[in-house]
């Protein structure tokens, strides 16, 4: 399927995003002197900016691409939660009701940025129990939402929203409806799951899911990793993002195809995985085959990594990027592995 045609087909697709919602706070400034109190730079702040992070950024990517996302996850009754509501509402993201307050505070990541470089990050968050979605009224809200969507995306940032029980429950509720379910995993949590339609780890996450060291050097052991992940989790589709080495597609435990990326100046990888999974699932829910969906995701990620901070991508930006790099949508440039 051609990229332009696919961008039209994904418009209006309804995707429910379930996961860890965060607020990304950026403190921008300059540092030209060292503190007399300690050997650290003094940052003269020029501005603050705020963006949706975690599962909320996935939802924003879906909206930016033309989808119709809804978002389920806990936020607090606090200033961070209010800022997030404004950002999401402005982008056209619908919040699933009943998931504000409780005992939780809104997860906030504050990044100190000096000359477009991140100096440090400050995290504010509660405990995993504060963000659980696998019990009580939260499940009632989720069940109602699942009945009205074309796809479900589980966005796990390891904060407590995604659990084994929740994954199994979502798979059960969607199975009879033919609604595809995807997961962006965090292997360090060692969750047991199966029956998902799409699994989208990056290189390190895929190695860890396969029981290998995420720090493994040298050539990526594609055949071994795909076989091990299939044995453990049986995903319908496995898509592994390999950074500059491209995107690896796999089915039935075997590597199928490697889609090359374009080597460009990378300003920030924050949120690139969110962009990949959002565009992949939108495309699959619109009837695209996996290679076509992955080509779209590859183009979208290529745009996002050229931006500073957590970012989204629009259809117009993808088409502009494609015009500059037409080979990224050319099957002849890909490596068929099976």
Q: Is residue 274 among the annotated active site residues? A: yes
pTM of the model: 0.91
Mean pLDDT across the stretch 207-212? 94
Determine which one of 150, 184, 256, 274 is catalytic: 274
Integer CA distances (angstroms), 267 to 113, 243, 287, 311, 316, in order: 12, 13, 33, 11, 20
Specify if 221 maps to a domain.
yes
Specify if 81 maps to a domain.
no
Q: What is the pLDDT of residue 268?
A: 43
Looking at the structure of the chain, the number of domains it has is 1
Q: By the 8 A CB rule, do 289 and 250 touch? A: no
Q: What is the pLDDT of residue 186?
A: 86
Query: Who contacts 15 (Cβ-Cβ below 8 Å, separation ≥6)?
Result: 62, 67, 68, 69, 70, 149, 150, 151, 152, 153, 278, 281, 282, 285
SS3 29: strand
Specify if 47 maps to a domain.
no
**Per-residue pLDDT tens over the stretch 242-281:** 888 889 999 999 999 999 886 554 444 555 788 899 999 9
> The domain that contains 149 carries what CATH number?
3.40.1190.20
Q: What is the pLDDT of residue 264?
A: 52
Specify if 216 maps to a domain.
yes
Mean pLDDT across the stretch 55-79? 95
Specify if 175 maps to a domain.
yes
Specify if 241 maps to a domain.
yes
Out of 99-113, 213-227, 297-311, pick the least confident: 297-311
Q: By the 8 A CB rule, do 299 and 321 touch? A: yes
For residue 107, which of 59, 144, 157 has the smallest C-alpha distance? Answer: 157
The whole-angstrom separation of Cα 261 and Cα 49 is 30
Q: What is the pLDDT of residue 164?
A: 95
Specify if 255 maps to a domain.
yes
Specify if 26 maps to a domain.
no
DSSP state of 126: -
Q: What is the pLDDT of residue 256?
A: 94
**Per-residue pLDDT tens over the stretch 278-314:** 999 999 999 999 999 999 999 998 888 877 666 788 9
Q: What is the pLDDT of residue 103?
A: 77
The pLDDT > 90 percentage for the chain reads 74
Domain that holds residue 158: 3-21+128-336
Q: What is the pLDDT of residue 177?
A: 86
């Amino acid at each position: 399927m051609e990229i332009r045609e696919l961008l039209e087909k994904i418009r209006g697709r309804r995707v429910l995003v379930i996961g860890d919602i965060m607020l990304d706070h950026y403190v921008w400034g300059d540092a030209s002197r060292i503190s007399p109190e300690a050997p650290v730079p003094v940052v003269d702040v020029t501005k603050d900016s705020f963006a949706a992070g975690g599962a909320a950024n996935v939802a924003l990517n879906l909206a930016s691409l033309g989808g119709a996302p809804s978002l389920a996850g806990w936020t607090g009754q606090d200033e961070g939660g209010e800022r997030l509501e404004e950002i999401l509402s402005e982008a056209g993201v619908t919040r699933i009701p009943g998931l504000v307050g409780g005992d939780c505070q809104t997860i906030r990541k504050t990044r100190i940025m000096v000359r477009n470089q991140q100096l440090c990050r400050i995290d504010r968050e509660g405990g995993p129990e504060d963000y659980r979605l696998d019990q009580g009224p939260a499940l009632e809200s989720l069940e109602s939402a699942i009945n009205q969507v074309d796809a479900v995306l589980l966005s796990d940032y390891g904060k407590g929203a995604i659990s084994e029980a929740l994954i199994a429950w979502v798979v059960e509720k969607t199975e009879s409806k033919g609604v595809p379910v995807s997961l962006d995993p965090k292997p360090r949590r060692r969750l047991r799951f199966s029956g998902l339609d799409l699994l989208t780890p990056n290189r390190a996450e895929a190695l860890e899911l396969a029981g290998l060291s995420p720090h493994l050097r040298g050539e990526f052991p594609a055949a071994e990793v795909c076989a091990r992940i299939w044995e453990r989790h049986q995903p319908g589709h496995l898509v592994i993002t390999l950074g500059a080495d491209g995107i690896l597609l796999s089915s039935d435990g075997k590597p199928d195809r490697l889609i090359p990326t374009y080597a460009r100046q990378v300003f920030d990888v924050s949120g690139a995985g969110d962009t990949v999974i959002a565009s992949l699932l939108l495309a699959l829910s619109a009837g695209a085959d996996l290679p076509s969906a992955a080509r779209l995701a590859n183009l979208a990620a290529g745009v996002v990594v050229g931006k500073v901070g957590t970012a989204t991508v629009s259809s117009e930006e993808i088409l502009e990027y494609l015009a500059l790099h037409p080979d990224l949508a050319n099957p002849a440039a890909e490596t068929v592995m099976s």
